[in-house]
Amino acid sequence: MPNCSHDEQDAIMRAKRELILYARRLGHHHLVMGHGGNMSARIGNAIIITKHGVHIESLSEEDLVIIPLSSGGDMEYLASVELPVHRAIYLKTSSRAIIHTHSPYVAALAQVVRRYFKPVDEESRRAIPLVPVVEAPPGTMELAKRVSRRAEEGFKVILVKGHGVFVHGDSIREAYTLACLIEHAARTWLLSIHGGFHL
Ligand SMILES: [Zn+2]
């Protein structure tokens, strides 16, 4: 961003490093694969977001683009197709980081869940007792509207029917923790309804 202060430039550099660090962790834990998923951080009036079509698990600085929080910006065409969702969440909440994944158990859960998902394991129940489900095609303003409405209501984890999950938080670390937690919650729930393993 050309008009950024020194402090903002520093914050942008730190956010980029953190996005890369947690992108690798998402990959390491198999929460992102190939072109699936995207992530961003907000610094002041700017969004640092992954570019369209990048591999999150091997993210580098060149895979990130900085665009204005409000609409517009010459570089917008480079950003993830889910930019409208990221932008809408930032505009309606005080969150500073967003992660979107199609992690395996979340993707399976998203096929079968209806209006709300209630985790069954104690750890997830305490952190995310109720997870709303929205439905709209990927990369659309309709999806942005539906997800951000739930975010504005205070939900930090929002499932998208047949698709995946958006999580957001005060930091990249918090968003990462929530991405791990919803995958764990989905896995535990799916194992429990199918009777688990026969040991
Ligand atoms: Zn997606």
Question: What's the confidence (pLDDT) of residue 137?
Answer: 97
The one catalytic residue in 61, 62, 82, 135 is: 82
**The CATH fold of domain 6-193:** L-fuculose-1-phosphate Aldolase (3.40.225)
pLDDT confidence tier of residue 199, bands split at 50, 70 and 90: very low
pTM of the model: 0.93
Q: In this predicted model, which residue has the larger pLDDT, 67 or 6?
A: 67
Interior/surface letters 63-94, b for 16+ CB within 10 angstroms, e for the rest: bbbbbeeeeebeeeebbbebbbbbbbbbeebe
Share of the chain above pLDDT 90, in %: 84
Tally Cβ neighbours within 10 Å of residue 4: 16
**How far apart (Å, rounded) are the C-alpha atoms in residues 107 and 132?**
15
Q: What average pLDDT does range 23-36 have in this prediction?
A: 90
Q: In the chain, what are the domain boundaries?
A: 6-193
Instruction: Compute, in angstroms, the gap from residue 4 CA to the centroid of ligand 1.
Output: 31
**How far apart (Å, rounded) are the C-alpha atoms in residues 99 and 104?**
15
Q: State pLDDT tens for residues 157-169.
A: 999 999 999 999 9
Model confidence at 10: pLDDT above 70: yes
Instruction: Compute, in angstroms, the gap from residue 71 CA to the centroid of ligand 1.
Output: 21
pLDDT confidence tier of residue 3, bands split at 50, 70 and 90: low
8 catalytic residue (yes or no): no
- Half-sphere exposure of 49 toward its Cβ, with a 13 Å CA cutoff? 28
> Average pLDDT, whole number, for the chain?
93
Q: State pLDDT tens for residues 83-102.
A: 999 999 999 999 999 999 99
